[in-house]
Amino acid sequence: MALGPRLDLRRSQSLVMTPQLQQAIKLLALSNLEIEAFIGEALEANPLLEAGEVSREAGEGAPPAPDEPSADLAIGDDSALDIDPDALDRDRDTGDGEWGSALSSGGGSDDLPGIDERGAAAPSLADHLEAQVGAVVGDAREEAVARHLIGLLDEAGYLTSPLREVADELGIPLAEAERALRVVQSLDPTGVGARSLSECLALQAQEADRYDPCMARLVDNLDLLARGEFARLKRMCQVDDEDFADMLAELRGYDPKPGLRFGGGEEAPVTPDLLLRATPDGGWDIRVNEATLPRLVINREYYVELRQGCTDKASKAWLNEKLTDANWLIKALDQRQRTILKTAAEIVKQQDGFFRKGVSELRPLTLARVAEAIGMHESTISRVTSNKYLHCERGTFELKYFFTSGVGGGAEGEGASAEAVKARIRALCDAEDPAKILSDDTLVEMLKAEGFDLARRTVAKYREAIGIGSSVQRRRQKKLAGLG
């Protein structure tokens, strides 16, 4: 077969993200306070923009003034929007959404504090890892397991739950859980997802390309290092004094608690992005918090003045560019608000029982379910619900709070939310007779009678998560309280 140069023509489809599309996706994930800062920068960079109310007489180049952003639960067909945030992930395989419903989870306080008690801290370890995992996993099911494991990490970044128990709870093979854990361990900071100090240091040595057989023996025998048995370690590692000193120096440079780098900043009061109130007809009214979201308009008079002064081609091109940018930004911000409202309206619809009766009525909910209901991509819902807070008569909650996993039993076979189960455990323990403290086995039986089919270890885990001691501890506490 003769070899030689040849020219082939091929057709293929690819997604090219324009700078405007990238900006629209970025805007969607920002909170109102972050948007306020972004608008401040835009006002400085574009002389045609100014803060104020949009009027219908704003003139050429300015879009019509939208009504005050609000929504009710009867939202129907939304107006067409020019920028599609879903384009980034449209060609991605979303996998089995129903299976994923068992893994989606959301944070939130068990005591449901009010607006003055909740704060927005610096990005947590979980936030940092969640932002990375989608880029390194191509399979939706593996990504769901990895995100579940991220939710189980402690503040230092360690996985304290036995991996076999995690696999059993999710109903997946152990090998699948191990693959997902390797994904988590590949994220930054190196060392997260470890199950022991040895594994944490080994991961960092591997990242530094220093994990040779000698270092492996040293990391596997940290107990000898702690006891100062250096001579024995040198023999085991088969190294001389100089090499051993280098290995120790390398080991001391690693971080034994990589997760502590995150979430340690001072908390600031939370300002809600959305406001929810009941309407007289028994429905709900949802509005964007206008107090934290200044509006932008185009300064028509200044535009006309500048246009009259533009005598050369370069000046006219610059002015047209600024006008185009201003128009796009106003439209993009309006789209962002409508997308957030549409998503929030569906969340309120799905969690109607919570807003009317409290946490005991919180239903299992996934990003996929909301995305399907409103015709958007799951990745868009994930961005919309990040760093956004909703204020209602029950307090202020991050939108992520309303996404919670389903556990044992519950109405309509969908399971009850983890938060609802925790609330029920708290109620049972608060009402227990001091002379007949409820054991975890008894709690399991009582919950099962109410339709919650949970394992004993799950009940114990939830009890500890909400700060309720064991039966022995509670008996002692209530006895002392009785004496007081």
What are the tens digits of pLDDT across the range 167-207? 888 888 999 999 999 999 988 888 999 999 999 999 998 88
Is 419 found in the same domain as 396? no
The pLDDT value recorded for residue 343 is: 94
Sign of CA dihedral 47, 53, 54, 58: negative
Do the domain assignments include residue 469?
A: yes
Is residue 416's pLDDT more than 80? no
Strand partners, 274: 288, 390
The range of the structural domain enclosing residue 297 comes to 19-53+84-116+269-402
Would 247 be classed as within a structural domain?
A: yes
Q: Residue 12: inside a domain, yes or no?
A: no
Q: Return d(Cα 139, Cα 141) in angstroms, integer.
A: 6
Q: Answer yes or no: is 4 within a domain.
A: no
Residue 415 has pLDDT above 80, yes or no: no
Q: How far apart are CA 424 and CA 71, in angstroms?
A: 32
Question: What pLDDT shows up at residue 243?
Answer: 83
**pLDDT digits over 342-368, tens only?**
999 999 999 998 899 887 778 888 888
Q: Which residues pair with 11 in a beta bridge?
A: none
Among the listed ranges 222-236, 277-291, 340-354, 401-415, which one has the minimum average pLDDT value?
A: 401-415
410 in the same domain as 388: no
Sheet containing strand 274-278, edge to edge, reads 70-72, 284-288, 274-278, 389-392, 395-398
What residues pair up with 75 in beta bridges, in sequence order?
A: none
Residue 105 lies in a domain: yes
| 8 Å CB contact between 427 and 475 | no
Mean pLDDT of 418-440: 86
Are 112 and 181 contained in the same domain? no
Do both 209 and 242 map to the same domain?
yes
User: Is residue 425 situated within a structural domain?
Assistant: yes
Same domain? 425 vs 472 = yes
The residue type found at 273 is D
Domain boundary among 402, 431, 448: 402
Give the span between the Cα atoms of 419 and 425, in whole angstroms: 10
For the chain, the farthest-separated pair of C-alpha atoms sits apart, in whole angstroms, at 99
Q: How many domains does the chain have?
A: 3
**CA distance linking residue 359 with residue 293, whole number of Å:** 30
Residue at a domain's end among 377, 402, 427: 402
Domain CATH number, residue 464: 1.10.10.60
- Residue type (1 letter), 118: R
Comparison of pLDDT for 89 and 181, the residue scoring more = 181
Q: Above 80 in pLDDT, residue 313?
A: yes
Is residue 6 included in any domain, yes or no? no
Q: How many residues does the chain have?
A: 484
Give the confidence band of 483 by pLDDT, cuts at 50, 70, 90.
Answer: low
Give this prediction's pTM: 0.49
Burial of 475 (0-12, 13-18, 19+ CB in 10 A): middle
393 shares a domain with 280: yes
Same domain, 355 and 285: yes
Tokens of 31: 């909170």
